[in-house]
Structure 1
Amino acid sequence: MNMPLLILTLQKLLGEADLLLDPDDCRPYCKGARYGEGETLAVLRPDSHEQVVEIVRLCQTYHQALLLQGANTGLVAASTPDASGRFFVLSLERLKKHIAIDVVNRSVEVDAGVSLHELNTALEEHGLFFPIDLAANPSIGGMIAANTGGAKLIKYGDVRQNLLGLRAVLMEPAGEVLDLQHALRKNNTGPDLKHLFVGSSGCYGVITRAVLQVHYLPKLTAAALVVPRDQSAVLELLQVLERDCGEYLSAFEGISGAALQAVLRHVPAIKQPFHPEPCPDYCVLIELSSRSDTQAGSDLNALLSGCLEKLFGTVVENAVLGRATELWRIRHAISEAIRHEGKVIAFDIAMPRSALVDFRAQALALIASHYPWIRVMDFGHWADGGCHFNMVWPSDTEQVLSDSVVQEIRDLIYDLVVLGYQGSFSAEHGIGPYNQAYYQRYTPAIQKHLSGQIQDLLDPQKLLGICHFGH
């Protein structure tokens, strides 16, 4: 490879300000939002689709590896370069000129570098939003690559369910553009190739633009933080809400007492919602929402209150209604709060939601029996079968932090999830280096074979991304 010539050609294409070579300038692009840190040869910051096409063409010609990066908010290091220093980081943070809203079609055409917050700001004046509810602010391209879900999936679905089309630049043929920018909800003219790029961790091609289905902003909401009778009552409560509240149910988030207490310890502005009664062992954040303020949607508070009142003394022990902003602050503060407790051992898992009660009881018992100093501080999206079964190696324990024990815990929990309950070791976060070994461990051979064949077809030299989907 003639690296000086490649660098010179890229400088002419991008300008010196957007081809970063100095290690100090590159460092922010080499560290993940929460985990992962590596080295890069250079950071490329194109501001147009045409520049991306030329970058991909040049890197394929010179056999130079590229790592795609959006807002770099992922938690599995898929957008963070490794320690090898072999990658150019292709940052799409400047690819954000285009947001074209079609109000009648209820869709938007948007550049991949646009952030979720920027998109929703533009949509808001039309009474619309892209309803992926997250504590982070990722880019649209990154959300597609990870197939982001979020807290409102039960009502609106994940990114895949709201993706109408996209445009991607391929590594093979070099710089070829796959233009699938259809704003169609129905298009049965062959395999729907846009779905190849969803959840691909940026290894099948460079997404430069997306067409998304958007939704009307809710005009009314109602919220409650509910204490169930016991763990099994959580799913009883969910069934009743789905039956009696129907399409109005927009969130159903489980919060363990340990997670709630961590928030109260480390976020002084948040007050104990059940005071003067003590913190419960478990509670559930419920939200109803309606895009209409007429007919049944006119009083969601009454609908939610009436539903819970029927369950008091049997399924429900306590509840705080209203104060939606305050209650959501608790939920969004959990991840940051538990980081103050010690070393976080994070899990992003999913299973049939009918299995969640048994899984949680078995997992808690295993941790208590084998690792009694570990504190489980779990929370998550019970309505869609998702659980962040996070735990903490406390900073105040006498047990010395051991990477080998952390690995034992990961293997124990993932075996239970995947082999015991037919679940997923990565519900939302994707693969990335942090999950690559588990992909190899649990993914059926034929699935790895087919996924690897697609990767070989689109990138035979393995120049794009850091994940490998074959054997």
Structure 2
Amino acid sequence: MPLIDTLRSIVGAPHCLTVDVDMAPYLTDWRGRYTGRARAVVLPADTAQVAAVMRACAAAGCPVVPQGGNTGLCGGATPLADGAAVVVNLSRLRRIRSVDAANNALCAEAGVPLAAVQAAAQEADRLFPLALASEGSCEVGGVISTNAGGVQVLRYGNTRELVLGLEVVLPDGQIWDGLRALRKDNTGYDLKQLFIGAEGTLGIVTAATLKLFARPRAVVTAWLAVASPAAAVELLGRLRAAVGDRVTAFELISRPSLELVFQHIPGTRDPLGQPSPWYVLLELSDTVTGDTLAGLLEAELAATIAEGRVIDGAIATSDSQAQALWQLRENISEAQKREGISIKHDISVPVSAIPGFLDAAGAALAAAYPGLRIVCFGHLGDGNLHYNLSRPVRGENDEFIARTPEVNRIVYDQVVERGGSISAEHGIGQLKRDLLPDYKSAVEIDLMRRIKQAFDPRGLMNPGKVL
């Protein structure tokens, strides 16, 4: 039986798409940077169907591209232009299989949106702390496969630290049931870690057991104008010394980032009276109620304002005010998308190295490309910055984008010089695949290739991504 007929028999004809107009939404990434082709897009309903699809594709020697909410930023879930692959979209796997509040664990299938996991945890009076701007549309499988980060990593860790167990369909169609809900399991290799961040190149994640936490009862959110990134780093250190792990989020935002939000997102406004070159959006939280957090924050801010490191600030006095502040931060990527294409960098360096990186990279770029616009924002608390570059005049931007390789070299050399990484939370995908050998050692690349060969010797899983 031809492969397409077999796939239709497995998932049902309405869930096996072969017409171009039907497949189109699954063949282009969120940013519109990558568009591929596919033999078919299939939407299985459960793990058994995923396994059957994988077995059929393996028998036919057909590559498979796993896909979730298709919100990735590096082209990792977009098929290549050769049209050889079948896209396996997991969005119909939408069950939350269990919530175990006593064990602080939740089991969700790959197609469950991140926001739905958060809501299920809240219904059980628990917290699932992973928080992303795309949480309404990104899905569990994609979040795991890209090892997503977000705004609360400095307190709770990124996805890798939040996964207890996985269920995975392997390249030959076997199902590995590793959905354990244990904090301690010292029985050899921790196999789940190989699939977290692997971008679907080793197997298809179909379900996950996730860690839950006590739900915060007190939250304080503040928007601050700071004199410099160095002042922001110092403030972070002072707050962590004063309140410890109750610092839940600490975001750095440049003025050009904020200006794009004002320009492209209706209803947004500046929380402060005067513009500042840099801002911090911070959140403190605790599992006990009371005014302690607000008082501690106010005391620290009074000291830093007196010293001139914090210029001005606003502390949210209601949930709606806090949400409005977070909307400014979370809409930066959408505002940039509406503005037009830019050269994006998702980098990490040690927190202490951020001011030096910004100074050195900014100076090198300004010398090479006078008048360049740098849109910098991100998770200063864990050392992850989104460092995006474009020409402010659209007519000049195409020529600049064409120079992406030399621009990347300037930025990434500064990152690696400070012991950093060229990908902090977005993954490698197609965007950084060819750069990886330049910034990882030959030993690391060889080990990655050996793992790929062991799991997927025929190269059927998400070809052209990562390696």
Cα distance change of structure 1 residues 30 and 159 upon mapping to structure 2, 3 Å threshold: same
Amino acid in structure 1 at the alignment position of 2:303: K
In structure 1, the residue matched to 2:5 is 8
In structure 2, the residue matched to 1:405 is 403
Question: Aligned equivalents of 1:336 and 1:197: distance in 2?
Answer: 29
Cα RMSD (Å): 1.6
After superposition, residues 368-407 of structure 1 pair within 5 angstroms as 368-396=366-394, 398=396, 401-407=399-405
Q: Is structure 2 residue 315 aligned with structure 1 residue 321?
A: yes
The answer as to whether partners of 1:203 and 1:467 remain within 8 angstroms in 2 is no
Question: Aligned equivalents of 2:58 and 2:398: distance in 1?
Answer: 47
Question: Aligned equivalents of 2:44 and 2:341: distance in 1?
Answer: 37
Q: Is structure 2 residue 144 aligned with structure 1 residue 144?
A: yes
The answer as to whether partners of 1:343 and 1:394 remain within 8 angstroms in 2 is no
Identical pairs, percent? 35
After superposition, residues 53-452 of structure 1 pair within 5 angstroms as 53-136=51-134, 137-171=137-171, 174-275=172-273, 278-293=274-289, 298-314=291-307, 315-322=309-316, 323-396=321-394, 398=396, 401-418=399-416, 420-452=417-449
What displacement does 1:231 show?
2.9
Over residues 313-367 of structure 1, what are the superposed CA-to-partner deviations in whole Å (9 max), with x where a residue is unaligned?
A: 2132221111322211111111122334443221100011111100001111112
What displacement does 1:11 show?
1.4
Cα distance change of structure 1 residues 178 and 251 upon mapping to structure 2, 3 Å threshold: same
Cα distance change of structure 1 residues 452 and 58 upon mapping to structure 2, 3 Å threshold: same
Question: Aligned equivalents of 1:397 and 1:244: distance in 2?
Answer: 49
What displacement does 1:60 show?
1.1
Question: Aligned equivalents of 1:155 and 1:126: distance in 2?
Answer: 21
Structure 1, unaligned stretches of length 5 or more? none
Aligned length: 459
Cα distance change of structure 1 residues 468 and 454 upon mapping to structure 2, 3 Å threshold: farther
Question: Aligned equivalents of 1:397 and 1:69: distance in 2?
Answer: 34
Q: Is structure 2 residue 456 aligned with structure 1 residue 459?
A: yes
The answer as to whether partners of 2:36 and 2:78 remain within 8 angstroms in 1 is yes
Question: Aligned equivalents of 2:6 and 2:375: distance in 1?
Answer: 51
The answer as to whether partners of 1:452 and 1:469 remain within 8 angstroms in 2 is no
The answer as to whether partners of 1:78 and 1:466 remain within 8 angstroms in 2 is no
What displacement does 1:211 show?
0.4
> What TM-score do the two structures reach when normalised by structure 2?
0.95
Specify the SS of the correspondent of 1:464: coil
Question: Aligned equivalents of 2:437 and 2:200: distance in 1?
Answer: 18
Question: Aligned equivalents of 2:432 and 2:398: distance in 1?
Answer: 25
Cα distance change of structure 1 residues 43 and 339 upon mapping to structure 2, 3 Å threshold: closer
Range moving further from structure 2, 113-122 or 66-75: 113-122
Range moving further from structure 2, 255-264 or 158-167: 255-264
> What TM-score do the two structures reach when normalised by structure 1?
0.94
What displacement does 1:88 show?
0.3
The answer as to whether partners of 2:105 and 2:181 remain within 8 angstroms in 1 is yes
Question: Aligned equivalents of 1:399 and 1:85: distance in 2?
Answer: 31
Specify the SS of the correspondent of 2:390: strand
Cα distance change of structure 1 residues 130 and 457 upon mapping to structure 2, 3 Å threshold: same
Question: Aligned equivalents of 2:220 and 2:377: distance in 1?
Answer: 21
Question: Aligned equivalents of 1:22 and 1:43: distance in 2?
Answer: 9
**Regions of 4+ moved over 6 Å:** none
